[in-house]
């Protein structure tokens, strides 16, 4: 049956991406199984989209689009990846409805914000002969609402909100062979790890961008070190499935940090691939080789090709007319007309019975209302104060053991302590000399809860600056 009310897929779409204060906009047109970028523009905003008045930012965005001669209103928006919160869960062999309940409970306990304040999507993956996993990716609803207000002020109508890196490297394309995708932006590098058909990790790094060779070399080494840390936190089966490092950038080969990383990434044991053009297999539609490989282009082309975003954060919009049309086709309306007479006869009886039930339920509710109100207040307090309590006192235990390892005379001092996921602890500080630092590290290695102590960096002589990391494991229960 023909669906007259289903909206047709657009033939032209605006791809839009924010990179800090920088704006990239491309208009992509589809025709006869291929697509091309018909207009593009770039510009910079003077107001931060994260904090400034959405109306002001929207007017600035409209000015950038007008300067580029862009009039298309429908747009696919590439969300900044640093808005993402991630949470990974092992999925047991349970019925689907129980799995959904488990993931919802994990989200309530694992994310630092109440579940109702987050827009959350789930990406599942499973490796050969391994357990199933689910990675939950969340964005605060306030951020989504702010972006919608900005686009509305710019007279734009969004049809998709998704992360640009997942449009460049779709998770479903890595079912058998995993990959790490890097996107080099203006000031940050986005890291996406995919395998088993889903998202494993999503991070944003800020190694710094400089034209100075020495600074670029240091930034590349820092980036490789962060990649090693990311890989070290993954299960062995996941890490072994990663075969390719795919590097995306606005101008491939011209970014000095990108070039420096390419030389050093070979030590990670991955096949390096600098993506300089899209392929029809990746996008489902043919693009000219001159099309820029950017998140804005990828989001727009995938939408035009009918490959719906796998991580979609745009709130659904369903009009009252669409809801009515979805329930009633033309054939159903004819049948409904024939049954109208019989239905009208039943309505009177049903209405009377409804009033009786309504009166009875209203009486019951009058007795229940005070208790329900009290319970709702308790729930609000639990949601408000849950993040402040942790029965395991993991953080305090780590700080206590680290304090015990450092000498009391102040020869070794910790300046910063960072507690990461999967039990990784990163510590940096100063020491009077190398001997004092080695003694502290030996005391730390002797502790039963501490394993895999590794020194990341030592600079200077007396005093010297250091950075080391270790893995924290829970102490076995005492008999």
Domain boundaries, the chain: 335-387, 394-472
Residue 427 has φ and ψ, to the nearest 5°, of -130, 135
| Alpha-carbon dihedral 352, 357, 363, 366, rounded to 10 degrees | -110
The pLDDT value recorded for residue 430 is 92
The pLDDT value recorded for residue 4 is 47
* Cα 477 from Cα 473, distance rounded (Å): 12
The pLDDT value recorded for residue 138 is 92
Which of 83, 57, 245 is closest to 152 using CA atoms? 57
* Cα 57 from Cα 51, distance rounded (Å): 10
The pLDDT value recorded for residue 345 is 67
Tens digit of each residue's pLDDT, the chain (479 residues)? 444 444 566 789 999 998 888 999 999 998 877 888 888 989 999 999 988 999 999 999 999 999 999 999 999 998 988 888 998 888 888 888 888 888 888 888 888 888 889 999 888 888 777 788 888 999 999 999 999 999 999 999 999 899 988 888 888 777 777 888 888 877 788 889 988 888 888 988 876 555 556 666 777 777 788 888 888 888 787 888 888 888 887 655 556 666 667 666 677 777 888 888 777 667 778 888 788 888 888 888 888 887 777 788 888 765 555 555 555 555 555 565 667 767 776 777 777 788 888 888 888 888 888 888 888 888 888 877 765 555 567 888 888 888 999 998 888 999 899 888 778 899 999 998 888 889 899 999 999 889 989 888 888 877 889 999 999 886 554 44
The pLDDT value recorded for residue 2 is 44
* Cα 105 from Cα 363, distance rounded (Å): 34
CATH superfamily placement of domain 394-472: General secretion pathway protein M, EpsM (3.30.1360.100)
Residue 354 CB contacts under 8 Å (≥ 6 apart), including other chains: none
The pLDDT value recorded for residue 334 is 55
> Beta strand 22-31 with 34-44: parallel, antiparallel or unpaired?
antiparallel
Let me know how many helices (H) and strands (E) the chain has, helices first.
13, 17
Are the beta carbons of 76 and 159 closer than 8 angstroms?
A: yes
The pLDDT value recorded for residue 7 is 53
* Cα 184 from Cα 190, distance rounded (Å): 7
In this structure, what DSSP letter does residue 53 have?
A: -
Per residue in 142-160, is it b (16+ CB within 10 Å) or e — as a string? Answer: ebbebbbebbebbebebbb
The pLDDT value recorded for residue 287 is 82
Are the beta carbons of 94 and 102 closer than 8 angstroms?
A: yes
- Tell me the CA end-to-end span of the chain in Å, nearest whole number: 70
The pLDDT value recorded for residue 477 is 45
The pLDDT value recorded for residue 479 is 45
- Written as six digits, the tokens of 138 are 């969340």
The pLDDT value recorded for residue 71 is 92
The pLDDT value recorded for residue 3 is 47
This prediction's pTM = 0.62
Which of 275, 270, 299 is closest to 289 using CA atoms? 275
């Amino acid at each position: 049956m023909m669906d007259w009310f289903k909206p047709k897929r657009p033939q032209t779409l605006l791809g839009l991406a924010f990179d800090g204060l920088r704006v990239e906009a491309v208009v992509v047109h589809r025709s006869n199984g291929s697509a091309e970028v018909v207009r593009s523009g770039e510009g910079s905003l003077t107001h931060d989209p994260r904090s400034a008045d959405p109306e002001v930012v929207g007017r600035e965005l409209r000015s950038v689009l007008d300067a580029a001669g862009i009039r298309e209103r429908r747009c696919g928006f590439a969300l900044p990846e640093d808005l993402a919160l991630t949470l990974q869960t092992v999925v047991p062999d349970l019925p689907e409805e129980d799995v959904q309940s488990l993931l919802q409970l994990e989200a309530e306990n694992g994310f630092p914000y109440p579940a109702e304040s987050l827009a959350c999507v789930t990406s599942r993956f499973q490796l050969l002969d391994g357990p199933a996993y689910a990675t939950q990716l969340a964005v605060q609803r306030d951020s989504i609402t702010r972006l919608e207000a900005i686009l509305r002020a710019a007279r734009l109508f969004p049809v998709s909100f998704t992360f640009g890196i997942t449009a460049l490297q779709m998770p479903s394309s890595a079912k058998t062979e995993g990959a790490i995708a890097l996107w080099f932006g203006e000031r940050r590098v986005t890291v996406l790890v995919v395998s088993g058909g889903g998202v494993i990790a999503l991070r944003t790094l800020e190694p710094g961008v400089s034209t100075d060779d020495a600074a670029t070399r240091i930034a590349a080494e820092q980036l490789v070190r962060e990649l090693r840390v990311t890989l070290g936190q993954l299960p062995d089966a996941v890490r072994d499935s990663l075969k390719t490092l795919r590097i995306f950038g606005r101008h491939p080969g011209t970014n000095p940090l990108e070039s420096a990383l390419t030389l050093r990434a070979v030590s990670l044991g991955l096949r390096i691939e600098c993506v300089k053009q899209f392929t029809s297999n990746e996008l489902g539609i043919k693009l000219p080789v001159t099309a820029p490989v950017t998140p804005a282009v990828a989001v727009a082309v995938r939408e035009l090709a009918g490959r719906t975003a796998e991580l979609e954060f745009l709130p659904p919009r369903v009009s009252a007319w669409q809801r009515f049309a979805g329930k009633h086709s033309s054939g159903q309306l004819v049948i409904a007309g024939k049954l109208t007479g019989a239905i009208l006869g039943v309505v009177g009886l049903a209405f009377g019975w409804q009033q009786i039930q309504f009166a009875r339920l209203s009486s019951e509710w009058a007795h229940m209302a005070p208790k329900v109100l009290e319970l709702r207040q308790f729930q609000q307090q639990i949601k408000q104060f849950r993040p402040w309590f942790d029965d395991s006192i993991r953080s305090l235990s780590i700080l206590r053991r680290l304090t015990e390892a450092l000498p009391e005379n102040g020869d070794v001092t910790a300046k910063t302590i960072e507690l990461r996921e999967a039990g990784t602890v990163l510590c940096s500080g100063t020491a009077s000399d190398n001997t004092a630092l080695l003694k502290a590290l030996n005391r730390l290695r002797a502790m039963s809860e501490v394993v895999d102590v590794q020194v990341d960096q030592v600079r200077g002589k007396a005093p010297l600056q250091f950075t080391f990391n270790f893995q924290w494991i829970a102490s076995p229960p005492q008999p």
